[in-house]
Chain A
């Protein structure tokens, strides 16, 4: 009950301060004054905090706020519940309104005559691709597919090892191995949360712009993503078989080999095929920031505003991605 109370006060305080900020800075400055709000002064901070405390106090005494509603929805009177509901609705409207202003949404821009003409020209060019550069585009596409393949193949062995070393049920038996597990988890999650695009930027500084940088970027991401998928699969194996192998007096390595591996071989294969397919798609994007292959070619033509050439490349990418998608789905169906 105590904890609930704190959560309610916190919720009311945060929503109160949030509403005060929006009302003051968006509604007052933008709508009424028609100007960009100035930098926040310390006094304003204090005022926002006070507004939050006011709402929290209101919730605590009159019990007509979101916090009061969260703690005990059934004991509120109808008007109290109504009031809390209106506070929630008001916050939602205010938030969408703020978002509209911050994003500078301007639907009319979509329909300006000049804009429509440019877009029409672009789409027209994309739909009438320039076939004379087909050989160049195909060569770049082949490079992209190989970048993806290399990233998958090079990333596979380390991911396999990490998949077991980052699985709780393999590592929990000993303090030292459990520490390794914890450290690996952190590293893998970090490597995975950094987008491959950012890895590509890092590696293009390291080894120079080109396909190798793109491959390295995707290899890092592949290792992290596959290690995560593999380890989750290892953690979800039936513990019964593990126990049975352990009961024969088998060595821990044998327990993994006979207790876990037979249960994860097919899922691992499916994940790997899926990864290759994802990597081909990703490799086209990586090329946009200098990772080589079809993406780099696309950027070159886009920079020269040669839209017919860009059109051919986009169509080619779409075709290859579709074929890869289909093939990988069929392959995974076959082994399932």
Chain B
């Protein structure tokens, strides 16, 4: 059984924009799936349908065979808790410490009043420190996030996602605002999480070179529709122009 399955998912936003149109997709347990396509092709919306930050207008989202399309309230929060997510702009609390930011990942498992008082249980703090070790930032635990570099911030965001003990990790253009060298270091941490913990990773990316290097399967979107599905090696020049348009040129990042 697939971990995620999208069945004919369509998303129309209130302003009339059709972000996804009858998208069907299976994400197998433990795979590293890349989602590519131009800006505005629906990559972000696709990821947000998987963890139900976005509710589809039509179609079904299945998680381990169970329908999660229209979850609400507590059930929806529990579902989201099981799926980590990282973002292009990191989305961390800049003025707080690294540790406090990582602990945000455990909010779904902590009583509301405890989190408001800021008294997280000791074992969660230890878990947060272990997760910081995974991303190589243990010694930065008590620094403020705004003092960190972009790559370090994204690693904090990964540690925050790991705090959710997730079944899967969604990454929405995680390296789009990083320089190439830093981009690779962040991608390697995603790769490590995927291989060491066997965690499913769904990652939207801009650069095909990164896709070829890290992903085992790739899905391409164009104007909200799936136009390609297969191995990264199968993306020929012809496919490339089909996905990105006739004007496009591939840019290499090493």
**B160–A248 CB distance below 8 A:** yes
A254: chain B residues at CB < 8 Å are 107, 112, 115-116
Interface residues in B, total, Cβ within 8 A: 30
Number of chain A residues close to chain B: CB under 8 A: 18
Assembly CA distance A271 to B210 (angstroms)? 47
Secondary structure type dominating chain A contacts: helix
Tell me the chain A residues, 205-261 only, with Cβ under 8 Å from chain B.
238, 240-241, 243-251, 253-254, 257-258
Q: Across the two chains, which residue of chain A brings its CB closest to B77?
A: A249
B79 within 8 A of A: yes
Among B80, B163, B164, contact of A246 (Cβ-Cβ < 8 Å): B80
Task: Given A248-B104, A251-B77, decide whether A240 and B95 contact each other with a Cβ distance below 8 A.
Answer: no
Query: B185 at the A/B interface (Cβ < 8 Å)?
Result: no
Report whether B107 and A247 are in contact in the complex, using a CB–CB cutoff of 8 Å.
no
B107: contacting residue among A240, A258, A262, CB under 8 A: A258
Q: How far is the CA of A240 from the CA of B89 in the complex (A)?
A: 8
Are the C-beta atoms of A246 and B82 separated by less than 8 Å?
no
- Chain A residues with CB under 8 Å of B51's CB are 247
Instruction: Kindly state the separation between the CA atoms of A221 and B84 in the bound complex, as whole angstroms.
Output: 45
**Contact between B80 and A247, CB atoms less than 8 A apart:** yes
Please determine whether A249 and B116 come into contact, CB atoms closer than 8 angstroms.
Answer: no
Residues of A within 8 A of B95 (CB): 262
Say how far A2's CB is from chain B's closest CB, in angstroms.
24
Please name the residue on chain A nearest to B116 by beta carbon.
A257
A244 and B96 alpha carbons, distance in the complex (Å): 15
Closest Cβ–Cβ distance, residue B236 to chain A (whole Å): 35
Q: With the chains together, A70 CA to B202 CA distance in Å?
A: 55
| Cβ contacts under 8 Å, A251 to chain B | 77, 107, 112
A243 to B53 alpha-carbon distance, docked (Å)? 8
Q: Is the CB of B85 within 8 A of A247?
A: yes
CA distance A9 to B155 in the complex (A): 63
**In the complex, B209 has a CB within 8 A of chain A:** no
**A248:B81 contact, CB within 8 angstroms:** yes
Q: How far is the CA of A55 from the CA of B121 in the complex (A)?
A: 78
- CB contacts (< 8 Å) of B81 on chain A: these are 248-249
When A241-B93, A262-B95 are in contact, do A249 and B80 touch as well, CB less than 8 Å?
yes
| A254 to B81 CA separation, bound complex (whole angstroms) | 13
Query: Does the CB pair B164–A248 fall under 8 Å?
Result: yes
For residue B164, which residues in chain A have a CB less than 8 angstroms away from its CB?
248-249
- Give A243 to B95 CA distance when docked, in angstroms: 18
A241 and B92 within 8 A (CB): yes
Interface mask (B88-104 → A, CB under 8 Å = 1, otherwise 0):
01011101100000001
Partner of A244, one of B79, B85, B108, B112: B85
Distance of A238 from chain B, by nearest CB (Å): 8
Give the CA-CA distance A279 to B217 in the complex, in Å.
Answer: 64
Contacts of B157 in A (CB 8 A): 244
Annotate A168-184 by CB proximity to B: 1 below 8 A, 0 otherwise. Answer: 00000000000000000
Chain A CB within 8 A of B244 CB? no
Kindly state whether residue B87 has any CB partner on chain A within 8 Å.
yes
Q: Are A243 and B91 in contact (CB under 8 A)?
A: yes
Evaluate contact between A241 and B91: CB separation under 8 angstroms: yes
Tell me, yes or no, whether B39 is within 8 Å of chain A by CB: no
Verify if B174 is at the interface (C-beta below 8 Å from A).
Answer: no
Q: Mark B50-66, 1 if CB is under 8 A from A, else 0.
A: 01010000000000000
Q: Taking the nearest CB of chain B, how far is it from the CB of A272, in angstroms?
A: 18
Q: What distance in Å separates the Cβ of A270 from its nearest Cβ neighbour in chain B?
A: 15
Q: How far is the CA of A251 from the CA of B91 in the complex (A)?
A: 18
Contact B91 A249, beta carbon cutoff 8 Å: no
Asked if B78 CB lies within 8 Å of chain A CBs, one says yes
List, in ascending order, chain A residues with CB within 8 A of B80's CB.
246-249
Most buried by B among A245, A250, A263: A250
- Does chain A have a CB within 8 A of B232? no
A315 to B180 Cα, complex, angstroms: 65
Question: Are A244 and B91 touching (Cβ within 8 A)?
Answer: yes
CA A254 to CA B108, docked complex, whole Å: 9
Q: Which of A238, A243, A249, A258 contacts B79 (CB 8 A)?
A: A249
Q: Is B105 an interface residue (CB 8 A)?
A: yes
Task: Give Cα distance in the complex from A243 to B115, angstroms.
Answer: 18
A249 contact set on B, CB distance < 8 A:
77-82, 107-108, 164
Q: Which residue of B lies closest to A241 (CB)?
A: B91
Out of A238, A250, A262, which one reaches B77, CB within 8 Å? A250
Which residues on the A side are within 8 Å of B79 (C-beta)? Answer: 249
Candidate in B91, B95, B160 with the most chain A CB atoms within 10 angstroms: B91
CB contact between B87 and one of A240, A250, A257, A262 (< 8 Å): that residue: A240
Interfacial chain B residues near A240, Cβ < 8 Å: 87, 89, 91
Q: Report B-chain residues with C-beta under 8 Å of the C-beta of A247.
A: 51, 53, 80, 83-85
Q: Is the CB of B107 within 8 A of A250?
A: yes
8 A-B pairs whose Cβ atoms sit less than 8 Å apart in the complex:
A244-B87, A245-B104, A246-B80, A248-B84, A249-B81, A253-B116, A254-B115, A257-B115
Where the two chains meet, the residues of A that have a C-beta atom closer than 8 Å to any C-beta of B are 238, 240-241, 243-251, 253-254, 257-258, 262-263
Closest 9 CB pairs of A and B: A249-B81, A249-B108, A244-B91, A250-B107, A249-B80, A240-B91, A247-B85, A249-B77, A262-B93
Additional A-B contacts beyond A243-B53, A254-B112, A258-B115 (14; CB < 8 A): A241-B93, A244-B91, A245-B107, A247-B51, A247-B80, A248-B81, A248-B105, A248-B163, A249-B82, A250-B77, A253-B112, A254-B115, A257-B116, A258-B107
